[in-house]
Structure 1
Amino acid sequence: MPFDDRGLAYGDGLFETVLVRDGVATLWEAHMARLARGCERLGIAMPSRSALDALPGRAGAGLRVLKLTLTRGSGGRGYRLPDSPAPRLRWRATPFAPSPERWWQGVRVRHCRLALGIQPRLAGLKHLNRLENVMARAEWQDPDVAEGLLCDSEGRLVEATSMNLFWRRDGRLETPGLARCGVAGTLRDGLCRRLGIQEVDAAPEVLEDAEAVWLGNAVQGLWPVHRLDDARGRMLACWRLGSVHRELQAEAHALLGYPRHAGEAGQRDEEDEA
C-alpha cells in the first residue's frame, strides 16, 4: 500500500469481511450491495463485478474470511480529491474458526463509555474510518467480556463494537435503527428481511427489560447474551438461555451455513472425524 494512499491517510474507502466456505461466499449479494451503496455515497468507482465475483473462488479450501479493502487510491492535495481517482482494491483470505462455545453458552457484554458521533451521510456504511470502534474496544481487557455496546451521542442504542444488536421485547424482535450512524450488517439485513425485525430508536435501558438479547455478524454468527454489565463491570441484567434464543439463532445460522443447534454441531464433528 503506497504511503500516499488515501485509505491509509484519511480512511477514504470501504471494506467488507465475507465468510467463505470452500470457495463459496455466504451472503455475497448483500455484501456487494453494501459495497455498491458505499461507493455511490463516497463517489468511488465500484470495481467490476466479474473481478469481485472471482475472489471467493480464490480464497482457498475450508472456512475462510475474505477481506476486501477498496480505497480511493492516491492523489489530491490534502483533503482535496484527486482529479482522476484510480481506486485501489486489495484482498486477503485467512483461515477462520468460529467460537461454538459462544453460540451455545452465550456471552457476557458491557456498555461502553464512548458515544458514536452522528453522521447520517456515513450511516450504514462499512467505511475505513473505524477509530471510534478501536477506542471503544480499548475500554476493557477482561476476556470474559465478549463485546461492548455503543450508543450515539444522543443516548440511543446503535450496535456493538463489531456486531449488530438484537433483542426481543413483549414478543417482538427489535434492532436499533441505523439512520444516524452504525454499520448495517449483512446478517442483520438478511434477518430483518426474513423475519420482519422492527428497527427502533431505544435507550440502553430497554435491554434490561428484554426477554432475550443477541449479537451477530456475518462471520461469527449469532451469540445469545447471558449477562449485561454497565461500563464499570456491574451486572445490570442476566438471562437464562432457552428456546427463544435458539429460534433466532437457527434463522441466522441457516443464512451462514452454521449449525442451528448443539446436536447438529455434534453430528458435524462426528462426520468430520469420520
Structure 2
Amino acid sequence: MHSWIDGQPATAINLQNRGLAYGDGLFETIAVRAGRPSLLDGHLARLALGCQRLMIDVDLALVRDEIQRFASQLGDGVAKLVLTRGDSQRGYAPVAGVAPRRVLQCSPLPGYPVEHAEHGVRLFPCQTRLAEQPLLAGLKHLNRLEQVLARAEWQDGEHAEGLMRDGQGRVVEGVYSNLFLVRSGVLLTADLSRCGVAGVMRGALLEHAQRLGMPVQVRDIAFDELQQADEVFVCNSVYGVWPVRAIAALNWSPGPLTRKLQAVARTLLDT
C-alpha cells in the first residue's frame, strides 16, 4: 500500500490540481501504531478549522473513515493526508462546484536516535524568519517554503531541529515542532495568532498540563527569555517530546516537568 486518492489506491494526480499549482490546501501527518491513527480527533479538529478558514467544503466524516481504513492496512508507520481544493484551470479564482481531493500517503515510522528523547537535542538558530499572516496562522497549510529554507540552513548531524523566530525576533517554534519553555514552574509556549503551526501534540500537552494543575502561559516569547528558562523542550505528533539541551551557547538539562510531559506524550501516542 503506497497511496490513496479520494479513497482509492492511486499513484498519480491531475497536473491541474490546485495543491500542486498554488499550495491551495492543508495536510496532516499522523502517527499510526498497530493500525490506529494517534491523536486523530486533534488532527481532524485542526483540519476542520483549516477548511473553514480556506473555505474548502469537505466531508470530515468521510475523511475520518478513510484515515481509519488506511491506518488499519498500514499497521505501523506515518500516514500523511493532503487535502487540496481540487482540480481547476489556470487562475487563482476557485471554481464553484469543484470537489476537494483527498490524498493519503504512507511512510515508515522515523528511526530517531534514542538519545534525542533521553538526553535531549541541540537546536540550530535559523536565520529564516516566519512571516505574519493571521488568516493562515496556526494552520498546517501546504505552503511550507519557510520551513524548507530554514531546514536547508544546517546539514550536520549535531542539530536535530531548528529554532524559528518571527520578523520581530520573537521565538515561535521549531522547523517541524512546537517549542515550550519552563521558567519557575510555569509552562510557556508561543502565541500563534500571527504565524506558526498549532501542533496537535502542542494542544494535547497544553490540555493535559492544565488538567494536572500546571501553570500555563501562551504568549509572545522574546529570544532573551531563553536565557532565563529552566527547561526547554520541543514536541510533535510523531516523536512526542524531546528535551532541548542546547541552542547556540545556551545549555539546559532535561527537567522534571519535561519528563512528566514526555510521559504524557508517550501515552497519547501509544493508546
Contact 2:18–2:87 (CA under 8 A) maintained in structure 1: yes
Tell me whether 1:144 sits opposite 2:158 in the alignment. Answer: yes
Deviation for aligned residue 1:223: 0.4
Structural RMSD (CA): 1.6
Counterpart amino acid of 2:240? G
Counterpart amino acid of 2:226? L
DSSP-derived class of the 2:132 partner: coil
Tell me whether 1:71 sits opposite 2:80 in the alignment. Answer: no
Aligned to 1:126: 140
Contact 1:112–1:139 (CA under 8 A) maintained in structure 2: yes
Contact 2:16–2:89 (CA under 8 A) maintained in structure 1: no
**What CA distance in whole angstroms lies between the structure 2 residues aligned with 1:152 and 1:242?**
27
Aligned to 2:259: 246
Counterpart amino acid of 2:158? D
The C-alpha deviation readout for 1:141-200, integer Å capped at 9, x for no partner, is 111101111111122211110000001012101100100011000000011111133211
DSSP-derived class of the 2:122 partner: strand
**What CA distance in whole angstroms lies between the structure 1 residues aligned with 2:246 and 2:202?**
21
Counterpart amino acid of 1:12? D
DSSP-derived class of the 2:195 partner: coil
Deviation for aligned residue 1:245: 2.9
Runs of 4+ more than 2 Å apart: 50-63, 97-101, 240-245
Q: 5 Å matches for 1:48-67?
A: 48-59=60-71, 60=73, 62-67=75-80
Which of 209, 213, 218 is the equivalent residue of 2:228?
Answer: 209
**What CA distance in whole angstroms lies between the structure 2 residues aligned with 1:137 and 1:97?**
17
Counterpart amino acid of 1:148? G
Contact 1:5–1:74 (CA under 8 A) maintained in structure 2: yes
Structure 2 stretches lacking a partner, 5+ long: 1-12, 211-215
Pick which of 70-79 and 100-109 moved more. 70-79
Deviation for aligned residue 1:123: 0.5
**What CA distance in whole angstroms lies between the structure 1 residues aligned with 2:191 and 2:169?**
13
Tell me whether 1:87 sits opposite 2:106 in the alignment. Answer: no
DSSP-derived class of the 1:66 partner: strand
Tell me whether 1:175 sits opposite 2:189 in the alignment. Answer: yes
DSSP-derived class of the 2:160 partner: strand
**What CA distance in whole angstroms lies between the structure 1 residues aligned with 2:269 and 2:123?**
23
Deviation for aligned residue 1:61: 5.2
Which of 111, 125, 148 is the equivalent residue of 2:125?
Answer: 111
**What CA distance in whole angstroms lies between the structure 2 residues aligned with 1:101 and 1:194?**
25
DSSP-derived class of the 1:145 partner: coil
Identity level (%): 46
**What CA distance in whole angstroms lies between the structure 1 residues aligned with 2:81 and 2:63?**
12
- Taking structure 1 as the reference length, the TM-score comes to 0.87
**What CA distance in whole angstroms lies between the structure 2 residues aligned with 1:242 and 1:153?**
30
Pick which of 247-256 and 181-190 moved more. 247-256
* Alignment coverage as a number of residue pairs: 252
Deviation for aligned residue 1:129: 0.4
Q: 5 Å matches for 1:8-87?
A: 8-59=20-71, 60=73, 62-87=75-100
**What CA distance in whole angstroms lies between the structure 1 residues aligned with 2:247 and 2:63?**
43
Tell me whether 1:227 sits opposite 2:240 in the alignment. Answer: no
